[in-house]
Amino acid sequence: MTMIANSVGAADPTQTRMEEMNDAPSHPAADVDELVFIATTDIAARTKGRSMRLADFEESTSLGWVPANLGIGSLGHIVDDIPYGSTGDLRLKPDLASLARLDGIPGRPPLSIVFADLVNTDGTPWESCPRTFLRDAVEQLRTEFGLTTRCSFEHEFVDRTAKGDHHPFSLQAFRRAEPIGSKLMTVLSRAGLEPETWLPEYGRHQYEITVAPADPVTAADRAILVRDIVYDLFDAHGREASFAPVVAPGEAGNGVHVHFGLDDKDGNTVIYDPSRPGRLSKLAGSFAAGIIKYGPAMAALFAPLATSYQRLAPHNWSTARAFLGLQNREALLRICPTNEIDGRDPSRQLHFEFRGGDIGANPWILLGLILRAGAQGLRDELETPEIVVGELDLDDKHAHLPKLPRNLEEALAVLKDDEVVSGWFSPAFLATYEAIKHDEFASVQARSLAEQCEVYARVY
């Protein structure tokens, strides 16, 4: 029993989780005290934080954090001209519901990880906390529209150290990743992330990992853990995994696809209406319309790296234009298929997939954007957008579909001009975001595309 287990009520599920963590057998190879890492993730979408001995961790524990850390860009330095400087302090306030335990990484002791909200020193939410950005979006959807959602993130990445040919989806490619693949599924499962599928993907040495849907904050927390567990596991085997949008010019892209449904407060789906196009209810159509409408303005946030725009092009099965597509893998928003084998009910299954995102996007922000854009579509009572059925024909039939920005700089300009999307963020967050991304764009722009890909492949 530790301090935390004594200090919370018996009915609190957190108590059970903490007790399980503290009673778990220690790693046989590790004669060390177990630590807990109190984590956040930022504009660079890198997991950061501080650790302490798990035995000293209490329900009320919080650790210090620095506002200017938000200004650390993808390239690993605090950029100039951000509103946060050398003064000011925050607290990392752990959300105990997010506590997970990583065990089974060869040569590395087990580690508990808990995600934190960033709060001011008086405990009030910090204006630029990315996790609070998602929490607020979820709350807004619930209070304003009576809606909830379950979501999951699908990740693609490349084993940069793999040798030889890669035949798409092949058993050989699958076996070559062993024992990492089996270990990955095991570590994810034991950490409570509910892994679903692990597969060799289409691209060279590309793999994909999916986990089960959960409430939005849990889903985004899981996305963060999936990345870090993959990095950890590959690194522990002397291998290198990269989720960068394009690891080398001409290679298949790595996407981060977000699946989500829409339910009422009791968990009943509100998406399905078989009498309407795409089987989408009027409400789901408005929600989708918001995402399509604000897609171009959100690009700087969901596709935030200079090389993101190499991926977002026609024929990449990523996102060719900002449109809603029926089972179309070039859509920004895809209406996913349903499994009706043996009379299975499609109504519970019908859901959307947002395909524009990549690893550069902070999962809390990425999902927060999708939910806020959808909510704005409901607020504005937008009509269901055109649903592209069949193959995309950009030369003719679908030439009118709205384009996404062509590069990061253009995306930043579109974001700045859009009062709705900009208005979802604190002015200080936006100023920091712009400073980081302009700095990053200026620094990588001078390099060849191959070098840009290499820079990001190392970071991500």
Note the residues at the interface with ligand GLU (CB under 6 A).
156, 252-255, 311, 316-318, 329, 355
Q: Indicate the residue whose CB is closest to Mg ion.
A: 208
Q: How far is the CB of 219 from Mg ion (least distance, A)?
A: 17
User: Which of Mg ion, ligand GLU, none does residue 131 bind to, with CB < 5 to 8 Å depending on kind?
Assistant: none
Would you tell me which residues interact with Mg ion (CB under 5 A)? 208
CB of 257 to ligand GLU, least distance (A): 6
Q: How far is the CB of 307 from ligand GLU (least distance, A)?
A: 12
Nearer to Mg ion, 61 or 210 (CB): 210
Residue 208 or 353: the one with the smaller Cβ distance to Mg ion is 208
Peptide bond preceding 179: is omega within 30 degrees of 0, i.e. cis?
yes
**Of residues 47 and 316, the one with the C-beta less far from ligand GLU:** 316
251 binds, among ligand GLU, Mg ion, none (CB under 5 to 8 A by kind): none
Q: Which is nearer to ligand GLU, 274 or 390 (CB)?
A: 390
> Minimal distance in Å, beta carbon 198 to Mg ion?
12
Query: Cβ 71 to ligand GLU, closest distance in Å?
Result: 29
**Shorter beta-carbon distance to ligand GLU: residue 66 or 199:** 199
Secondary structure in 3-state letters for the chain: CCHHHHHCCCCCHHHHHHHHHHHCCCCCCCCCCCEEEEEEECCCCCEEEEEEEHHHCCCCCCEEECHHHHHECCCCCECCCCCCCCCCCEEEEECHHHCEEECCCCCCCCEEEEEEEEEECCCCECCCCHHHHHHHHHHHHHHHHCEECCEEEEEEEEECCCCCCCCCCCHHHHHHCCCHHHHHHHHHHHCCCCEEEEEECCCCCEEEEEECCECHHHHHHHHHHHHHHHHHHHHHCCCCEECCCCCCCCCCCCCEEEEECCEECCCCECCECCCCHHHECHHHHHHHHHHHHHHHHHHHHHCCCCCHHHHCCCCCCCCCCCCEEECCCCCCEEECCCCCHHHCCCCCCCCEEECCCCCCCCHHHHHHHHHHHHHHHHHCCCCCCCEECCCCCCCCCCCCCCCCCCCHHHHHHHHHHCHHHHCCCCHHHHHHHHHHHHHHHHHHHCCCHHHHHHHHHHHC
Nearer of residues 49 and 325 to ligand GLU, judged by Cβ:
325
Q: Which of 274, 152, 252 is nearest to 207 (CA)?
A: 252
| 329 touches, from ligand GLU, Mg ion, none (C-beta below 5 to 8 Å by class) | ligand GLU
Least distance in angstroms from the C-beta of 388 to ligand GLU: 16
Name the residue with the smallest CB distance to ligand GLU.
Answer: 255
The site partner of 253 among ligand GLU, Mg ion, none (C-beta below 5 to 8 Å per kind) is ligand GLU
State the binding partner of 317 from ligand GLU, Mg ion, none, CB within 5 to 8 A by kind.
ligand GLU
CB of 208 to ligand GLU, least distance (A): 7
Nearer of residues 317 and 441 to ligand GLU, judged by Cβ: 317
Comparing CB distances to ligand GLU, the nearer of 297 and 332 is: 332
User: Of Mg ion, ligand GLU, none, which one sits near residue 252, judging by CB under 5 to 8 A according to partner kind?
Assistant: ligand GLU
Q: What is the CA radius of gyration of the chain?
A: 22
**Least CB distance to ligand GLU at residue 291 (A):** 16
Nearer to Mg ion, 16 or 197 (CB): 197
In whole angstroms, the minimum distance from the beta carbon of 311 to ligand GLU comes to 5
Using CB distances below 5 to 8 A depending on partner kind, what does residue 232 bind out of Mg ion, ligand GLU, none? none
